Amino acid sequence: MQVEHSAQPFFVSRESLQEWTKRPHQHNFFELVYIEEGAGEQCINHTVIPYQQDNIFLLPPLDCHTFMLSQPTTFIFIRFNGLFFKKDSMQMMDYTEWFQNLHYILSSYNRQPGDIIHNTADKNMLVTLIKGIHGEYIDKREQSDSIIRAHMFALLNILRRNFEQTFKREHQSGDKQVSDMLQYIQFNLFDNEKLRIESLAGQFNLSTTYVSEYFRKKTGESLKEYILKSRVNVAQSRLQNSDQSAKEIAYELGFTDASHMAKVIKKYYPTEPACSTGA
């Protein structure tokens, strides 16, 4: 399996292609793909779907992907990782903590291929931001670094809003409370105190002895398992896309130590996802 690496924390390119010559591959960074024009199919983790003009894809690290072009296609690729969101060259803004809190959304929002934005107004804003980022990156004018960073901040917040709305829709049930609980857990995944049984019981007006039973009854899995799997997704993402050490990540996410975290990750993800080579 070819894994594409990038030493740069941020990179933008615009490519007009008659055919896709790269082999199916993975990479160690997030990649936002905007289809400026053209049509064809995207293959990601064995799933093939059509793409067309103005589609926007978010490819998390280690998702295997390739494109098959049925029409000449112009792509804008934005590659980024957590290092990009540290203080800029003018030491004006530091988005490190904000980006870390987005990891669980960006790396595991739904793991489905395809266009990620279905709201027309948000799509229009994203296209404007993407083109603005590309223009600043190419021209490299005064303060371009800060302007690009601010554009990315706005872009990822729009993605977050859409992912949160999707999460709410996909977890609707006859009991609104369980949907609220799932969202509460995700949004407080880094706060051990708020995820304690006592805190959840108080937040959702349940008895401490009934919280775990209630969660299993409504979702089909244990509360502990759900939280652990969510943290594993975040741990993977941070290991791949931040400069934090494994020890720091393990401590922050509530694992005993880096070794314990590695064992848990291996339990849920024993092998890398296979990459489809078929069209």
Cα separation, 159 vs 128, in Å, equals 14
pLDDT at position 242, please? 61
pLDDT at position 72, please? 96
Where are the chain's structural domains?
3-110+121-170, 176-268
The model's pTM? 0.68
pLDDT at position 180, please? 82
Cα separation, 79 vs 8, in Å, equals 9
How far CA 112 is from CA of 57, 59, 66, 99, 269, in Å, comes to: 10, 10, 15, 21, 17
pLDDT at position 1, please? 43
CATH class of 176-268: mainly alpha
Strand partners, 15: 75
DSSP E strand stretches across the chain: 3-4, 10-17, 26-27, 30-37, 40-44, 47-51, 56-59, 65-69, 73-80
Pair of tokens at residue 252: 């922050």
- Which helix or strand (DSSP H or E) is residue 270 part of? none
Contact of 69 with 38, CB cutoff 8 Å: yes
Q: Which residues contact 261 (CB under 8 A, 6 or more apart)?
A: 235, 246, 249, 250, 253, 255
| CATH number at 3-110+121-170 | 2.60.120.10
- Which helix or strand (DSSP H or E) is residue 104 part of? helix 103-108
Cα separation, 58 vs 166, in Å, equals 15
Per residue of the chain (279 residues), give pLDDT as tens: 454 555 678 999 999 999 988 766 556 678 899 999 999 998 876 778 899 999 998 887 666 778 999 999 999 999 987 778 776 555 566 677 677 666 656 655 544 567 888 889 999 999 999 999 999 999 988 888 889 988 998 998 898 888 777 766 665 555 678 878 887 887 787 778 899 999 999 999 999 999 999 999 888 889 998 888 888 877 876 776 566 788 888 887 778 889 988 988 888 776 544 444 443
pLDDT at position 63, please? 66
